[in-house]
């Protein structure tokens, strides 16, 4: 029986359609410690990987960036109440939803959004297509500070544009912007830069000074800054998120558009809801004029509304829990996985792990060259980091993602998603430690 069929049989026979292993939500404390079984829900992180690699091939998938926790009870309650009304006809989005977004940004980040300059969306990725189309004609270049989120490539392609990598430099223990290189990458056919803060996958939380510097350069060179702040709630202890729209240089702020959603903070990525805003009404008008569609669904709206109006206590606990996961990983790798290195991220729940020594140890470079020679089908080039991914799936049953997915200079690194229970994280790390100990 094919893997695909085996998996579906399991889904049909054994697993619940919606993870029914969940205890009743009413009155529960927030529990991030008990591993939560997501199999049987068509999740990308668990089910799709089981379909690709086989259910028993992976103990812990740590790929796609979502979290494994049960939703905030306030969200489940709101959705359940809505489901009880058994009609799902067309949705008229109430003004109170826009107000909830405005209030959340004001309360949590001290940011004032003019309601006239707020557009709803079905998520950051979808709305970036409109953002790029508004300013970058087909065939022109969209700048990325790499390594950065590979999901930007889809919207860039959808807009008919070309991604142009301007590499970050690793200096003094941290990735830094190289503004001279960025300046050189800007040519007459460069109209937009996508800036990710906090940056997936390196975990940079850009300082006010760094944001101003890149903002001033782009503004001087007439490049519109599209700022993705979807990870903004996940900043680790001692770090501070600066909303781009709060910068003191008015010209820089007027030259930017910010894209957000509740999909990382509250793990609502399957429910497709988000928003974008700019202080510059002309930029909003141009985005709206691209045919930007707000096909938001009822459940996404209900869930985001509940999250933004009542989910803050839950979110604060998740942030603390994931911050501790970063600490735990840093200590575990230092003590038990000598072939890897990890320095705690400033933000996101993603860890950017240095695997240079492991690449050398198993000769992954040479294996990649060989595999690339034999490759016949389309897809990403096979890199040493892709060899490490396959090696860890085979030997440790843990899936982490190749750093080269995020730009050419992602070499020597892997991205590990820490959005899971400590127990699941421990299982993954023990598996990796045992597998790599066998190499000694």
Q: Which of 191, 263, 304, 404 binds ligand PLP (CB under 6 A)?
A: 263
At residue 70, the 3 state secondary structure works out as coil
Q: Residue 28 Cβ, how far from ligand PLP at the closest point, in Å?
A: 26
Name the burial class of residue 269, with classes exposed (0-12), middle (13-18) and buried (19+) by CB atoms within 10 angstroms of its CB: buried
65 lies in the site for ligand PLP, by CB under 6 A: yes
For residue 401, which of 69, 45, 35 has the smallest C-alpha distance? 45
Q: Which of 61, 73, 123, 410 binds ligand PLP (CB under 6 A)?
A: 123
Nearer to ligand PLP, 49 or 65 (CB): 65
Nearer to ligand PLP, 192 or 263 (CB): 263
- List C-alpha distances in Å: 140 to 124, 165, 287: 21, 13, 17
Are 50 and 63 spatial neighbours (Cβ–Cβ below 8 Å)? no
149 lies in the site for ligand PLP, by CB under 6 A: yes
Quick one: which segment of 102-110, 119-127, 131-139, 242-250 binds ligand PLP (CB under 6 A)?
119-127
Q: Which of 60, 102, 217, 230 binds ligand PLP (CB under 6 A)?
A: 230
Q: Which of 54, 151, 310, 338 binds ligand PLP (CB under 6 A)?
A: 151
196 lies in the site for ligand PLP, by CB under 6 A: yes
For residue 222, the tally of other CB atoms under 10 A from its CB is 12
Quick one: which segment of 261-269, 374-382, 412-420, 431-439 binds ligand PLP (CB under 6 A)?
261-269
350 token code pair: 């993603």
Place of tokens 């909303």: 243
For residue 344, which of 231, 202, 178, 145 has the smallest C-alpha distance? 202
Nearer to ligand PLP, 68 or 228 (CB): 228
228 lies in the site for ligand PLP, by CB under 6 A: yes
For residue 366, which of 381, 354, 384 has the smallest C-alpha distance? 384
Chain position whose Cβ is nearest to ligand PLP: 123
Q: Which of 130, 200, 325, 404 binds ligand PLP (CB under 6 A)?
A: 200
Backbone angles phi, psi at 200, to 5 degrees: -85, 120
Q: Which of 62, 75, 78, 124 binds ligand PLP (CB under 6 A)?
A: 124
278 contact partners, CB below 8 Å, separation of at least 6: 117, 245, 254, 256, 257, 258, 284
Nearer to ligand PLP, 6 or 44 (CB): 44
Kind plus residue range of the DSSP H or E element containing 124: helix 124-135
Q: Distance (Å, rounded) from C-alpha 47 to C-alpha 399?
A: 13
125 lies in the site for ligand PLP, by CB under 6 A: yes
For residue 148, which of 346, 392, 406 has the smallest C-alpha distance? 406
Quick one: which segment of 20-28, 33-41, 223-231, 294-302 binds ligand PLP (CB under 6 A)?
223-231
Q: Which of 117, 166, 261, 278 binds ligand PLP (CB under 6 A)?
A: 261
Nearer to ligand PLP, 269 or 278 (CB): 269
Nearer to ligand PLP, 149 or 206 (CB): 149
Are 176 and 153 spatial neighbours (Cβ–Cβ below 8 Å)? no
| Positions in the binding site for ligand PLP (CB under 6 A) | 65, 123-125, 149, 151, 196, 200, 228, 230-231, 261, 263, 269, 274
């Amino acid at each position: 029986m094919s893997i695909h069929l085996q998996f579906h049989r399991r889904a049909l026979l054994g697993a619940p359609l919606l993870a029914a292993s969940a205890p009743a939500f009413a009155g529960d404390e927030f529990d991030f410690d008990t591993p939560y079984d997501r199999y049987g829900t068509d999740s990308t992180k668990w089910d799709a990987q089981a379909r690709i690699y086989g259910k028993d091939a992976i103990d812990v998938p740590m790929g796609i960036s979502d979290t494994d926790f049960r939703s905030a009870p306030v969200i489940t309650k709101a959705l359940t109440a809505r489901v009880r009304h058994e009609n799902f006809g067309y949705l008229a989005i109430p003004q109170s939803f826009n107000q909830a977004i405005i209030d959340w940004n004001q309360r949590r980040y001290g940011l004032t959004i003019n309601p006239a300059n707020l557009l709803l969306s079905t998520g950051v990725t979808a709305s970036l297509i409109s953002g790029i189309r508004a300013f970058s004609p087909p065939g022109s270049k969209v700048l990325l500070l790499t390594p950065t989120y590979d999901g930007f490539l889809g919207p860039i392609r959808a807009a008919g544009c070309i991604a142009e990598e301007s590499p970050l430099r690793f200096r003094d223990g941290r990735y830094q912007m190289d503004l001279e290189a960025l300046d050189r990458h800007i040519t007459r056919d460069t109209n937009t830069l996508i800036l990710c803060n906090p940056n997936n996958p390196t975990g940079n939380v850009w300082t006010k000074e760094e944001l101003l510097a890149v903002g001033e350069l782009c503004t001087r060179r007439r490049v519109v800054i599209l700022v993705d702040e979807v990870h903004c709630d996940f900043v680790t202890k001692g770090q501070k998120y600066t909303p781009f729209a709060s910068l003191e240089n008015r010209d820089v702020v007027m030259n930017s558009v910010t894209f957000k959603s509740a999909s990382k903070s509250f793990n609502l990525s399957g429910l497709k809801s988000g928003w974008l805003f700019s202080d510059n009404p002309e930029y909003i008008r141009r985005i709206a004029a691209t045919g930007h569609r707000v096909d938001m669904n009822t459940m996404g709206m209900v869930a985001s509304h509940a999250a933004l109006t009542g989910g803050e206590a839950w979110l604060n606990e998740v942030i603390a829990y994931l911050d501790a996961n970063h600490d735990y990983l840093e200590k575990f790798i230092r003590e038990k996985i000598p072939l890897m290195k990890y320095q705690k991220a400033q933000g996101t729940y993603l860890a950017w792990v240095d695997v240079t020594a492991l690449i050398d140890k198993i000769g992954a470079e040479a294996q990649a060259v060989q595999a690339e020679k034999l490759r016949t089908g389309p897809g990403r080039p096979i890199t040493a980091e892709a060899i490490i991914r396959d090696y860890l799936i085979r030997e440790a049953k843990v899936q982490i993602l190749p750093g080269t997915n995020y730009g050419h200079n992602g070499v020597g690194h892997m991205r590990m998603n820490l959005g899971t229970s400590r127990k699941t994280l421990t299982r993954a790390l023990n598996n990796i430690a045992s597998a790599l100990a066998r190499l000694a």
